[in-house]
């Protein structure tokens, strides 16, 4: 049978092109997802700031808890969302360890050099201040000037000094702490061989200034250790661990220093594992579904050949083995090519995620043979499984019935296929009911896409029934609109329901998948935006790139007519094992600036010892007004606050509302992200802008400008998911074209016969367009119905409303794109198939 399989591959290269293309794309997709997953698991985080020391001591940057399940105890860990700080007492303990030449404490805090117009030279994520005593950790050395020793003195890295157009002796404005301040540049420093660190601008302060601006008295961000010459590094590290036993401090060496320097990259690893796993799982399911459909169409086109083999004595097992080996050969070649081709999409995805801010560029893409090998193996498995499933019915036909069965399409589905289709449809309904109960994105997203795929499985299995029903409805309409070409199109579609189903399945999957990916984002962001819009009653909002300093908020409070000034800051906190988005707000008068739509209690009771929670958080943690809620802040510090209100608008404002002072004490960047200004009707923009004269980087926005900024931010966040799932949409689109080209190209003898009996070439092409139009309409109806039902369930769970938000223009673009692909993939091969003499075409082999 292997010999026969190879001969078949040589003789029917065209028949395997469709399966080959589908498998190449599947392997590329799996490789790209596998590379992202491996990066999350084993990706290296580049070391910059701590390159000069071989050992770094930090606080534990993870939250740990014990989980009991089925009599087993497991310790779970998750990265903290903010930097955890180390008790400075650890420095004294380390200085007593023998074998250490130097113990260098490190302070790290947000510090932005501002231009004359108040613009920050660097983004919020890569501008940091340090004490000069820690310059040795890189090491930074002076190129000009001297070290800062007095208050108001700083040293800039060489690149930052160049961009700020300042030299030794000049002054710059630096925003660090509560208000921007003027500092004198007394030195310019750089690491060896460079002008600056690649991913962070560096400002060094005098030690006393650094401790004040860091805002963590009695704590340090980390400690760098230098082993004395002649001392054994292993022995010294063991002594360091002994000295720190019981403190929770972590001793980091080698590549483990990277996460200590870039905590955001360590957090991104977890995100990338989740994203890569979800994307990879969805990709694999879509790939299997598409490949099965492609092989099914290929086997359908070979029914006469398989029937002949059965008629001359081939057993069902031999037929299955032959087709399985054909698939293995095709899968091996396609898998190898697709695996290497997937490296390009992997780099592109990583680059896009970095550009959108979803990943820090310090987390390098890791490429190893593992994703490639996995892609080849999974492609082989998918090809073999798809071939065996597709040939099952053809191989079981009795030899005496084989040729007749090949010539005539069975009017009924097999029992097993019908049962499978009904089971998939019931599973889809069950998942819809489950989806209605899921109220957080991490829970609902994978279920949403699994729901769509299960609907596609049901469509594929029950496709001929759906095709016959759809064609029966559309056929009469098409026949009346076009008495000749339309009549032929309706008859052809009705007689070849399996072929129509093979085309409808990937096309409806493309419509459903694209609509679901696009409109889950718009549904959630629209609901959040509407809640934020309805719940914000402030007339004006202050914003700035590096954050609004506290001094700017104080200046606005002095403006006549201003009654309430609310500083707003966002982060993530945990209550037990559950992670919640939270906002910190100024308690005084907050109920006049924000309407969170409280269901019980009052936001006016917010103080530095209380918290308000959303209905989701209240339900998840089982708390209500008057209860105590223990919260783990972003830096790992635990606080206990009393619940004073339960509100509805958690999607727009976060699930916990805490006092601003409590939030600011536990985040890396304590400057307010926005300041809401409320007052009398006499308050206008002009006096607010005058009050910001000392803060030129702070902008005053009215309500319309705030809404536009919020929409822009929501669009940027949605782009990450669009890009993540874009490859799946592209793969599904390729599958649509692939299937349609295969189905159309295989009909050249049919087209030739129509020409021989008197149908013109123009009428055949018109018939083909009518068929394609009917198929597109049927696929659009099925795909839209699946997407609408899925999105409605998603919307009920996420927003509490059964009205998903789908912009009409975007939805129309999806349908036009699907229809355009279908028409191009049928009309072009149709024109090619009609070339040549019809009589000669009839004499060609199938």
CA separation for the pair 435, 520 (Å, rounded)? 12
> Which pLDDT belongs to residue 71?
67
CA separation for the pair 400, 223 (Å, rounded)? 83
CA separation for the pair 132, 245 (Å, rounded)? 29
List helix spans (H) across 692-833: 703-745, 748-756, 761-799, 808-833
Q: 539 pLDDT exceeds 90?
A: no
Residues 113 and 160: beta-carbon distance below 8 Å = yes
610's CB contacts (< 8 A; 6+ apart) are: 641, 642, 643, 644, 659
Cis geometry, peptide bond prior to residue 139 (ω within 30 degrees of 0): yes
Q: 420 pLDDT exceeds 50?
A: yes
Q: What is the pLDDT of residues 200-216, one digit of tens each?
A: 899 999 999 999 999 89
> Which pLDDT belongs to residue 149?
93
According to DSSP, the β-strands at 656-659 and 628-632 are unpaired
**At which residue do the structure tokens 């029914």 appear?**
303
> Which pLDDT belongs to residue 406?
47
CA separation for the pair 620, 614 (Å, rounded)? 10
Here the tokens at position 476 are 């009469």
Q: Which of 61, 75, 68, 52 is nearest to 130 (CA)?
A: 52
Name the pTM for this structure. Answer: 0.80
Mean pLDDT, range 125-134, rounded to an integer: 90
Q: What are phi and psi of 611, to 5 degrees?
A: -150, 145
Give residue 219's pLDDT band: very low, low, confident or very high (50, 70, 90).
Answer: very high
> Which pLDDT belongs to residue 399?
59
The sign of the CA dihedral 795, 796, 800, 805 is: positive
Give residue 141's pLDDT band: very low, low, confident or very high (50, 70, 90).
Answer: very high
> Which pLDDT belongs to residue 697?
83
**At which residue do the structure tokens 């966040």 appear?**
717
CA separation for the pair 553, 313 (Å, rounded)? 89
CA separation for the pair 584, 313 (Å, rounded)? 78
Q: How many CA atoms lie within 13 A of 105 on its CB side?
A: 21
From first CA to last CA, the distance across the chain in angstroms is 21
> Which pLDDT belongs to residue 640?
94
CA separation for the pair 706, 714 (Å, rounded)? 12
> Which pLDDT belongs to residue 481?
66
Mean pLDDT, range 393-419, rounded to an integer: 61
Q: Which of 399, 377, 461, 361 is nearest to 46 (CA)?
A: 361
> Which pLDDT belongs to residue 6?
54
> Which pLDDT belongs to residue 14?
52
> Which pLDDT belongs to residue 721?
64
What is the gyration radius of the CA atoms in the chain, in angstroms?
Answer: 33
- Residue 774: Cβ-neighbour burial (10 angstroms; 0-12, 13-18, 19+): buried
Residues 139 and 191: beta-carbon distance below 8 Å = yes
Farthest-apart Cα atoms in the chain, separation: 101
Mean pLDDT of the chain, nearest integer = 82
| Beta-strand runs (E) in 558-603 | 562-575, 578-585, 598-601
The sign of the CA dihedral 839, 844, 845, 846 is: negative
CA separation for the pair 129, 143 (Å, rounded)? 19
Strand, coil or helix: 336? helix
Q: 841 pLDDT exceeds 80?
A: no
According to DSSP, the β-strands at 201-205 and 127-131 are parallel
Q: 417 pLDDT exceeds 60?
A: yes
Here the tokens at position 58 are 């930090």
Selected residue with higher pLDDT from 311 and 23: 23
Q: Give one word for 43, left, alpha or beta, with left for phi > 0 and alpha for psi -120 to 50.
A: beta
Selected residue with higher pLDDT from 727 and 678: 678
**At which residue do the structure tokens 């589905």 appear?**
413
Alpha carbon of residue 781 to chain centroid = 28
266's CB contacts (< 8 A; 6+ apart) are: 45, 61, 79, 259
> Which pLDDT belongs to residue 203?
95
Give residue 822's pLDDT band: very low, low, confident or very high (50, 70, 90).
Answer: confident
Q: 513 pLDDT exceeds 50?
A: yes
CA separation for the pair 96, 91 (Å, rounded)? 9
């Amino acid at each position: 049978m292997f010999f026969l399989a190879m001969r078949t591959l040589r003789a029917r290269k065209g028949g395997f092109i469709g399966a080959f293309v589908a498998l190449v794309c599947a392997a590329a997709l799996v490789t790209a997802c596998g590379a992202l997953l491996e990066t999350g698991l084993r990706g290296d985080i580049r070391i910059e700031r701590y390159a000069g020391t071989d050992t770094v001591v930090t606080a534990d940057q993870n939250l740990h808890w014990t989980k009991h399940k089925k009599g087993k105890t497991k310790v779970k860990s998750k990265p903290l969302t903010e930097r955890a700080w180390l008790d400075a007492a650890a420095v004294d303990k380390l200085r007593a360890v023998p074998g250490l030449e130097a113990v260098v404490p490190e302070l790290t805090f947000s510090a932005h050099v501002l231009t004359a117009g108040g613009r920050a030279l660097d983004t919020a994520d890569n501008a940091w201040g340090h004490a000069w005593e820690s310059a040795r950790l890189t090491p930074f050395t002076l190129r000009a000037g001297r070290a800062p020793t007095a208050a108001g003195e700083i040293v800039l890295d060489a690149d930052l000094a160049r961009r700020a157009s300042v030299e030794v002796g000049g002054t710059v404005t630096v925003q660090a702490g509560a208000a921007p301040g003027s500092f004198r540049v007394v030195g310019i420093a750089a690491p060896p061989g460079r002008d600056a660190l690649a991913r962070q601008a560096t400002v060094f302060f005098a030690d006393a200034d650094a401790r004040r601006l860091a805002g963590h008295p009695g704590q340090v961000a980390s400690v760098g250790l230098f082993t004395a010459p002649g001392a054994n590094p292993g022995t010294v590290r063991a002594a360091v661990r002994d000295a720190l036993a019981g403190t929770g401090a972590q001793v980091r060496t080698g590549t483990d220093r990277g996460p200590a320097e870039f905590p955001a990259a360590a957090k991104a690893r977890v995100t990338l594992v989740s994203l890569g796993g979800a994307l990879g799982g969805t990709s694999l399911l879509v790939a299997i579904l598409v490949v099965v459909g492609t092989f099914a169409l290929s086997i359908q086109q070979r029914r006469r050949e398989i029937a002949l083999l059965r008629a001359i004595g081939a057993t069902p097992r031999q037929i299955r083995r032959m087709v399985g080996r054909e698939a293995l050969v095709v899968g091996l070649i396609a898998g190898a090519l697709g695996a290497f081709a997937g490296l390009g999409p992997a780099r592109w995805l990583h680059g896009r995620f970095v550009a959108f801010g979803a990943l820090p560029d310090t987390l390098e893409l890791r490429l190893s043979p593992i994703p490639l090998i996995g892609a080849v193996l999974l492609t082989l498995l998918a090809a073999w499984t798809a071939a065996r499933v597709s040939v099952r019915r053809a191989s079981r036909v009795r030899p005496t019935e084989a040729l007749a069965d090949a010539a005539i399409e069975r009017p009924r589905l097999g029992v097993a296929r019908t049962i499978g289709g009904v089971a998939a449809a019931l599973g889809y309904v069950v998942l819809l009911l489950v989806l209605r109960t899921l109220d957080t994105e991490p829970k609902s997203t994978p279920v949403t896409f699994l729901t769509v795929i299960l609907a596609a499985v049901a469509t594929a299995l029950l496709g001929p029934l759906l095709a016959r029903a759809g064609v029966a409805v559309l056929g009469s309409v098409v026949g009346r609109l076009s008495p000749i070409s339309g009549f032929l199109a309706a008859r052809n579609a009705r007689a070849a329901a399996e072929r129509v189903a093979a085309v409808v399945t990937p096309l409806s999957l493309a419509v459903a998948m694209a609509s679901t990916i696009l409109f889950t984002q718009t549904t959630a962001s629209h609901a959040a935006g509407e809640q934020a819009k309805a719940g914000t009653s402030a007339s004006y909002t202050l914003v700035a790139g590096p954050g609004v300093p506290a001094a700017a908020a104080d200046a606005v409070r002095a403006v006549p007519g201003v009654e309430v000034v609310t500083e707003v800051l966002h982060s993530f906190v945990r209550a037990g094992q559950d992670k919640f988005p939270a906002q910190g707000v100024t308690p005084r008068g907050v109920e006049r600036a924000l309407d969170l739509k409280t269901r019980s209690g009052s936001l006016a009771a917010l103080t530095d010892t209380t918290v308000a929670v959303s209905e989701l958080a209240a339900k998840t943690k089982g708390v209500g007004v008057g209860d105590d809620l223990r919260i783990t802040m972003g830096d790992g510090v635990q606080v206990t606050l009393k619940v004073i209100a339960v509100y509805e608008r958690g999607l727009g404002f976060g699930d916990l509302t805490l006092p601003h002072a409590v939030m600011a004490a536990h985040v890396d960047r304590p400057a307010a992200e926005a300041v809401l200004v409320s007052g009398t009707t006499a308050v206008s923009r002009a006096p607010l802008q005058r009050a910001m004269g000392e803060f030129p980087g702070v902008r005053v926005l009215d309500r319309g400008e705030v809404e536009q900024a919020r929409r822009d931010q929501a669009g940027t966040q949605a782009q990450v998911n669009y890009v993540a799932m874009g490859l799946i949409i592209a793969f599904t689109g390729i599958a649509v074209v692939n299937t349609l080209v295969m189905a159309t190209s295989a009909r050249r003898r049919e087209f030739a016969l129509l020409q021989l009996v008197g149908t013109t070439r123009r009428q055949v092409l018109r018939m083909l367009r009518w068929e394609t139009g009917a198929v597109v309409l049927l696929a659009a109806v099925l795909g839209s119905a699946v997407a609408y039902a899925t999105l409605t369930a998603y919307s009920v769970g996420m927003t509490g409303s059964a009205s998903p938000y789908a912009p009409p223009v975007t939805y129309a673009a999806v349908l036009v794109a699907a229809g355009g692909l279908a028409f191009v993939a049928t009309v072009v091969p149709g024109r090619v198939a009609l070339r040549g003499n019809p009589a000669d075409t009839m004499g060609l082999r199938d």
